[in-house]
Structure 1
């Protein structure tokens, strides 16, 4: 009996969320009710075939799963893996390509049918799909009787694709078995390289992530095999020998190459790059000569981000140090164009969309240091890192609490973000430092709860979770943990559902304001029904802040400081700010500074919340004659009075979007009243 990909996906989801309904499973994975039921029938048949209890449901409709199934999915080294799982079409294509790239013998379709146990017709369809896939990578698959199937193209690009394939196959169910089978690399070879990598870890005083420690032996073994086959890297890729040869990683390559003779210098440099571009989970010593310059570039980036986002980082030195650790491998990925493309989950876009926009606006000191444009994928990782720091800042819990730990096989950026999210979601717990799977298995810490993104063997209470949890998933996880660990039945208010019910009976003209009023009402009536992470959901958009009473138009201003006073006047009169806030802005900006100019179209003077902000607010001034900056007239001034670090980020993102749209700016220049200006803003807001 086979376990297909869809059934495996549903089983993994049920392990993470036993209370999920069949209907919700269907909605999440775009399946019909019949498809969901059929998959669970196959899952139960597979479980019974492997001597495990079938999945049942209790009276509340929750799934009941044998705890040993979690351990079954955590095992990756079973000899009969191919008897348990049927690779999908996409997985078969990956396996075929990996087989071609690592084989020392000429391969024909008969080799593929024998290895995959599929018909020749199916294999030929897979090869056709493989040809289309390689065409997008500027590679080509070629067949001759003498040499069999071969991939033709740039060796640099071929190896990049090979590393991606190894990572993809490793993520398959029983991926290690498939890697060994389709690369024909023995367990002994993998163990030998693994031991060398452990020596490299000691020399470099670092720990590779769990994912990397499993993948690197196959990567190095496969590269060495291609080198033996005469598939070498050429020198025209302009790898800078002087820049790499004095790094510890280059010297550590000698450990990996013990027993390998006559290897070209380009190949040794390339091997060093693979170490330099591997994420690490911690590192105690950083000795590169360029580190002080990297730290200065990071510090400059954070300064610009503070100015643009109107925030001030706590524990800034710590943040720079951790960013430096993250950027060490990222530097070489960016410099030598080794960043692999990936999809960012939608929840990340929703959670950090505004922050990501601001980070992109502030990234240029780092780009100047590296000498390359930083890909969007790398900027997202930096955004996640900074977002995690913002979430964690201020979380001081000294009281004795139940203990919890987060197990994550990925790098620093992702694991720290997960830890920060969970610490915010569960203030009832004291969280240990995040561990990799290897560290957890070796130390076996005595904790009450284990949160993990992958099944692990433990006697503690285990909760399987996603790398990135939506707000709904956070609510469900909190309800489960509070009920099962603290025996507290939590009631979580869904304000969106309540709003929808109200809108069925009455016309709601200001939905955002009603949501805030409802939140305030329930917080006052029963604080236990409103959780911390629900409070975080309430952020301010420009539409919440825009008011014709706060927007004024004047013909001209005699000077810059008068412009600040006139812009801030509505906020001052309404009590949103004190005079000290106006004085602080004038003191900070004796003249117009470049970093308060948004896209050359909007001036944004501001000070710190503690300088006299009483209530979150925004005011706008349009100067018809304009103010001159760098030879250009700027007609719009905005004073944003922030009360904390996060709630204004969405408004900042929207302001930057407006400032970037010249058509909207032209409309605002022609507006003659505060009401007209507010209307133009609201019609062109991007949430």
Structure 2
């Protein structure tokens, strides 16, 4: 028998997911109903029986999974059995065609592309048009000649940039495997070459103290293999003298020389000086480098410090250890400088999740990244922006979190400090009895570790290992809660046997049951999808924490201290803050200066939650005559917003809405010229959506 497209996709999803996954999560992943999933599972089980493999297993309250034996044998059967295939999307087909054009040395015609992508002639022609549009963005051109077929022309630098941007999928993905297979078809010695490059990079990692994850080593090895491929064909990079001089002075140049020397010996190649400089660029652009190996970029530390200061100002929080925040952000920003300067794209698989789940932090990061853009002389793309937002978000969640230490858990995360801190914070909130430690590679897993959470594929550690995304969805949290606690013999999920039997008994009173075993299984499947529900902490909107009773209008005040006291008075009267909080705000301004001026005519005094906040709140004082927070004219304010935050996160949605409102100068004028509290409240309501 053969599997249809959806059943094939479902089987691939089950193979890639190493722990049980619920029917609901499968339905959301494939965007189909629960009934459709059960129907496709029946088809898969029939196919597995035909192949003499174990059926898909089901664990109550956890979900379904493929056994280890079946998971190991299915890929070989899929390759041998042409009746089951993965169906590539249009975007994936475009990448397959690009890789073929970039790596093939023979003639390529339409039929080769059709065989590779498994689509019709018209669909393939549409894919080729899309490929041409992509190449045009890189100043490259795809041409066709009867004698040569399809081929690519243009700058060697841009050709390599296109390869790097195209060949950036997870190593275990179906698309990545197909791209590698396609390239191997054109070059039978490719895999041996990649293995040699992998050994070389692993050795360099130790020699130059580079902190590379296994995923980064693999990716770099494939990139090196492509560079070797191009040099063998006679295509070399050309850099201007000034660039070469600057790169020669970099600490990474020594590592590039070693790479060039080893490649020359292993592959009998002559590596030109320009190529050594190109290797240097790559080493400089890698994430997770140790601080010792990082290039010193004059002025960058100052830029990062300004970013951290502004982030605290706009988010109305204070980092306890702001030097550590600066230092860790600097370690990420330095290689990002080279990526942006030389156009090396770093695909961030979490960008969409960051924007959706940490939208307020992402928007605050956008407000401070202009310091980098001015320094770099280029726009910071959303993928890099998301990494910086993850850094800030990770530190916001890290401060104040002290997990109860009972068992030792290790988090293997390859995406940097910010990402790992976000993941660590989420896991700590789920499992209070685990003591978490973050590492960047499996070699650093402690000997006393009892459980492993990882964002990358790792070899079997003979420990309970859970593959997770850096940003967990509600469904993933539910599944982890159930499965991890069961693994640790700390299950808190009440057995549903009694409830299932009661339902079955009730059905028997009013209907004839023809297949009690099957009915029991289906009831358990339904109940198992309704076990735990995890939700992020509620973040109120702007008009939920500031209303008419907290808004005041006044003609003038004698001093900025009086302005702060008057603006905070309604919050004090309602016992939302204490007198100590008002004193702390005034002390902060005395010690730190007029940092509370965040926009022309606008001040947001605030202090730390522990200084006397009883409940999240905000107050507004509108002055007819502005008050000066210093002798400088730019430090005068007519709008005094008091913020009383209870933690580093709950106030961020309201603050983001306030920021949107104040980013428009017309809105500031409207607030300043408002004559009634209702006028002020009306504009606040408009932005509280």
Structure 2 CA distance for partners of 1:382 and 1:121, relative to 1, 3 Å: closer
Structure 2 CA distance for partners of 1:43 and 1:166, relative to 1, 3 Å: farther
Measured after TM superposition, the shift of residue 55 of structure 1 is 0.9
Q: Which piece of structure 1 moves more, 142-151 or 39-48?
A: 39-48
Measured after TM superposition, the shift of residue 332 of structure 1 is 0.8
> Which of these residues, 466, 475, 480, is aligned with residue 477 of structure 1?
480
State the alpha-carbon separation in 1 of the partners of residues 337 and 174 from structure 2: 32
State the alpha-carbon separation in 1 of the partners of residues 296 and 181 from structure 2: 40
State the alpha-carbon separation in 2 of the partners of residues 93 and 374 from structure 1: 26
Measured after TM superposition, the shift of residue 270 of structure 1 is 1.9
Name the structure 2 match of 1:664.
Answer: 667
Helix, strand or coil at the partner of 1:635? strand
Measured after TM superposition, the shift of residue 179 of structure 1 is 1.0
Alignment of 1:268-417 (within 5 A): 268-280=276-288, 283=290, 285-286=292-293, 288-290=295-297, 293-340=299-346, 344=350, 346-397=352-403, 399=405, 401-417=406-422
Q: Which piece of structure 1 moves more, 675-684 or 593-602?
A: 593-602
Measured after TM superposition, the shift of residue 580 of structure 1 is 4.0
Measured after TM superposition, the shift of residue 57 of structure 1 is 3.8
Name the structure 2 match of 1:88.
Answer: 88
Unpaired segments of 5 or more residues in structure 2?
A: 495-530
C-alpha offsets along residues 178-230 of structure 1, whole Å, 9 cap, x if unaligned? 41542525222112211221222123202322222112222112123223334
Helix, strand or coil at the partner of 1:149? strand
Alignment of 1:163-562 (within 5 A): 163-168=164-169, 170-173=171-174, 175-176=176-177, 178-183=179-184, 184=187, 185-235=189-239, 240-258=243-261, 259=264, 262-280=270-288, 283=290, 285-286=292-293, 288-290=295-297, 293-340=299-346, 344=350, 346-397=352-403, 399=405, 401-436=406-441, 439=443, 445=447, 447-453=449-455, 456=458, 457-490=460-493, 537-562=537-562
Structure 2 CA distance for partners of 1:77 and 1:637, relative to 1, 3 Å: farther
Kept in 2, the 8 Å contact 1:70–1:455? The answer is: no
State the alpha-carbon separation in 2 of the partners of residues 578 and 601 from structure 1: 27
State the alpha-carbon separation in 1 of the partners of residues 15 and 275 from structure 2: 41
Kept in 2, the 8 Å contact 1:76–1:174? The answer is: no
Kept in 2, the 8 Å contact 1:55–1:65? The answer is: yes
State the alpha-carbon separation in 1 of the partners of residues 3 and 398 from structure 2: 44
Helix, strand or coil at the partner of 2:650? coil
C-alpha offsets along residues 299-350 of structure 1, whole Å, 9 cap, x if unaligned? 3322232233222223333333322322232121122332346565554224
Measured after TM superposition, the shift of residue 428 of structure 1 is 0.9
TM-score by length of 2: 0.81
Name the structure 2 match of 1:504.
Answer: none
Measured after TM superposition, the shift of residue 380 of structure 1 is 1.4
- RMSD (Å), alpha carbons: 3.8
Q: How many residues were matched structurally?
A: 637
C-alpha offsets along residues 536-575 of structure 1, whole Å, 9 cap, x if unaligned? 6033432221121211112233443332232222223333
Name the structure 2 match of 1:127.
Answer: 128
Measured after TM superposition, the shift of residue 122 of structure 1 is 6.2
Structure 2 CA distance for partners of 1:199 and 1:78, relative to 1, 3 Å: farther
Kept in 2, the 8 Å contact 1:76–1:176? The answer is: no
C-alpha offsets along residues 472-522 of structure 1, whole Å, 9 cap, x if unaligned? 43233213322442343248xxxxxxxxxxxxxxxxxxxxxxxxxxxxxxx
Q: Which piece of structure 1 moves more, 3-12 or 632-641?
A: 3-12
Helix, strand or coil at the partner of 2:107? coil
Unpaired segments of 5 or more residues in structure 1?
A: 492-528
Alignment of 1:65-76 (within 5 A): 65-69=66-70
Kept in 2, the 8 Å contact 1:77–1:174? The answer is: no
State the alpha-carbon separation in 2 of the partners of residues 302 and 336 from structure 1: 25
Q: Which piece of structure 1 moves more, 424-433 or 165-174?
A: 165-174
Measured after TM superposition, the shift of residue 656 of structure 1 is 0.9
